[in-house]
Amino acid sequence: MKVLVTGAAGFVGSHLVEALLARGDQVVAYDHRLRGKCLSERVLAKAHGVEADIFDAAAVKTASRGCAVIFHCAAVVGVDAYTTRPAHTMEVEEVGLRNVCTAAVAQNGTRVVYASSSAVYGHAGGALDESLVIAPVSNYGIAKRFGELYLAAQYGEHGLQSAALRIFNIYGPRQDERLVIPRFIRQALAGEPIVIYGDGSQTRDFVYVGDAVTAALACADRTAGCEIVNVCSGSETSVRTLAERVIALSGSGSHIACHAPPAARTAFEVQRSVGSRAKLAALMIEPPTQLDDGLRSTIADRLSAHARARPCGR
């Protein structure tokens, strides 16, 4: 099967490219900067690389020709970027998804798998499932919710088949320090204080990148119509516990330092976040990776990657 991956050189995109190649798919890897991020030369040699911007509608259309599925991972990454460039964050989501959908509809049969986010749940607490009436509060969450609604409109108007993946707090090898787990790992390995915002009692659902990739493939192969699926572990872990596990698993002597969160991050701070895995479990039988196992893999990658070129974003 021929597929297109946008944001292919980023964190999630690069893991997805590798998995698709491993199962024998023909992969078009689309990114505005293919080298110097997450894709190795070995992987690039096996894929068809297209270096172009997601804003380039003609390039997206050309790259998608003959593709059965478009995995749309291109996005702005990191809370700092969302807070300093909110309009750009939303523009990348809107224009990028519009170009992807236009290309898919033109081919009459191409499906779209879209990397959405648990940020769409806003300040909703408890176990979060896809049937909840949601109210995102951050510009990033609003942009992702717009993407989900846009896909629903494309299905209603054009019959475009799609799956929106509400990805929770993803982590794993090759992720850069704009995200919490690689930042904690860097601080622990350097013997620096592990900086957490607030008292660390806030919880998150940490999902390993390999599980997210498996979920994306399952949704591409097994969902129909216009679906929304949580991509999560179904377990919640406090940020303090996360820091303690990173310290223990890395053999670090670091201590935990509690700081007040920057004012600009207020909309992104929620007290509790854990996803319902029921819908995802109906699509895939693999159990989620346990947090300690995922952390060990991520720490091992960090230890072996000091000579690697610049880390990458999602």
Q: Which residues are catalytic?
A: 140
What is the C-alpha radius of gyration for the chain, rounded to an integer number of angstroms? 19
Please give the span between the terminal C-alpha atoms of the chain, in angstroms, as a whole number: 24
173: CB partners within 8 A, 6+ apart? 209, 297, 298, 301, 302
Distance of alpha carbon 142 from alpha carbon 218, whole angstroms: 26
268: CB partners within 8 A, 6+ apart? 79, 82, 83, 119, 138, 140
Q: How far lies 86's CA from each of 150, 223, 228, 264, 304, in Å? A: 19, 32, 24, 11, 35
Q: Are strands 203-204 and 237-238 parallel, antiparallel or unpaired?
A: antiparallel
Q: Are strands 2-6 and 111-117 parallel, antiparallel or unpaired?
A: unpaired
